[in-house]
Amino acid sequence: MDFKIAVLAGDGIGPEISEQGVAVMTAVCEKFGHTVSYEYAICGADAIDKVGDPFPEETFQTCLRADAVLFSAVGDPKYDNDPTSKVRPEQGLLAMRKGLGLYANIRPIETFDCLVHKSPLKDELVRGADFICIRELTGGMYFGEKYQDNDRAYDTNVYTRGEIERILRVGFEYARRRQHHLTVVDKANILASSRLWRQIAQEMEPQYPDVRVDYMYVDNASMRMLQEPRFFDVIVTENTFGDILTDEASCITGSMGLLPSASTGDHTPVFEPVHGSWPQAAGKNIANPLAQILSVAMLFEYFGLMEEGRVIREAVRASLDAHVRTPEIQVEGGATYGTREVGEWIVKRLTPNPSL
């Protein structure tokens, strides 16, 4: 297969982890006889500094020309700490999602046995947890009408039937491919938008008689996720709730640096780590590249190349088992490995006749 990949490294640790993701993709393509070309583009704070726009038109066109986007992270403290700033790096991320019609964000939560001890939760709670969060990505408060002055502000949480139906359909289909269990998370006791979500989900249930559906308020879901994470198989929810719940889920795996994601919809799909730009670590070679690398595995699997995805996941697990880890997940007394060294180890593992 021929791949055209748009690479958006972004801000903070983005360029460092992006380099490792590209290296892994190149190695896998060579291993399986695929060809790949890369086109690099700017976004986030880097793009604001260069052209005044966090997602310039040229970057958008680069994404449209590509088969897939390998994205890293955006964000910078100089914008985070200025509430009056009219242009922000995160606006570029939202613009990319909206422009590419990326309405479905797929975030798998999977534990690694050798890292269960890194979770703040008890071993018996998290070991074996394996579920997927499907987050609606182009509606809700993030995209609704907004207003702010010195005394009053609001964000409008708007959803249409069409937006809800298409993301619920994604949730039902994923449940069918897994354990046939779908949890719809909302706040239907308070929010009108959530009541519409629940109404439509109940209307769609008869179309999927093989899927067991339950409904859970978001506050209950946030507790259940920590008390009984193995309960879940597929979760589907709206934009804001999904953002918060999936970040919370990182404590199950022991590190946000292990969580990949895919955003899919009308145009070019985007594959990215769940974590942010961590600007304090930029240039220090300490950021965990595994979420970026696992996002490459999801990229291959999106195109039906399951064996390619499998060998990446196998190499990641091998690196963890061999204690080739960045500092935040390294065992006490373990050797020091940086972003670059972890990536290089995995690439060597993926090459023919590896020396490891």
pLDDT in tens, 161-207: 999 999 999 999 999 999 999 999 999 999 999 999 999 999 999 99
Task: Lay out the sheet containing 260-264: strands in order across.
Answer: 35-40, 2-10, 68-73, 270-273, 260-264, 104-110, 130-136, 234-237, 181-186, 212-217
Asked about 219 being catalytic, the answer comes back as yes
Whether the Cβ atoms of residue 44 and residue 277 lie closer than 8 Å to each other: yes
Of the candidates 233, 228, 184, 227, the one whose C-alpha atom is nearest the C-alpha of residue 204 is: 184
C-alpha 245/C-alpha 197 separation (Å) is: 17
Mean pLDDT, range 19-47, rounded to an integer: 96
DSSP assignment, residue 38?
E
Strands (E), the chain: 2-10, 35-40, 68-73, 104-110, 130-136, 146-148, 153-155, 181-186, 212-217, 234-237, 260-264, 270-273
Q: Which one of the listed residues 219, 284, 321, 348 is annotated catalytic?
A: 219
Q: Is 103 known to be catalytic?
A: no
Please give the structure tokens belonging to residue 187: 């706040």
CB atoms within 10 A of CB 272: 28
DSSP reduced 3-state for 343: helix
Instruction: State the pLDDT at residue 247.
Output: 86
111-256: CATH architecture = 3-Layer(aba) Sandwich (3.40)
210 part of the active site: no
Name the residue type at position 143: F
> Which tokens go with 230?
């193995």
Sorting pLDDT into bands at 50, 70 and 90, what band is 128? confident
For the chain, domain boundaries: 1-102+265-356, 111-256
Read off the pTM.
0.89
Annotation: CATH topology of 1-102+265-356? Isopropylmalate Dehydrogenase (3.40.718)
**What six digits make up the tokens of 167?**
């993301």
* Structure confidence at residue 323 (pLDDT): 93
Q: Which two tokens stand for residue 53?
A: 């726009």
Write down the catalytic residue from 142, 174, 208, 337.
142
Annotated active-site residue in 46, 174, 243, 337: 243
149 tagged catalytic: no
Per-residue pLDDT of 217-266, as tens digits, reads: 999 999 999 999 999 999 999 999 999 998 888 888 877 788 999 999 99
Q: What token pair was written down for 185? A: 């998370």
| Domains 1-102+265-356 and 111-256 fall in the same CATH topology | yes
76 is catalytic: no
pLDDT band at 356, cuts 50/70/90? very low
Pairwise pLDDT comparison (152 vs 88), residue with the higher score: 152
CA–CA separation, 202 and 184 (whole Å): 10
C-alpha 302/C-alpha 321 separation (Å) is 27
pLDDT confidence bin for 353, thresholds 50/70/90:
low
* Marked catalytic residue, from 76, 174, 186, 187: 187
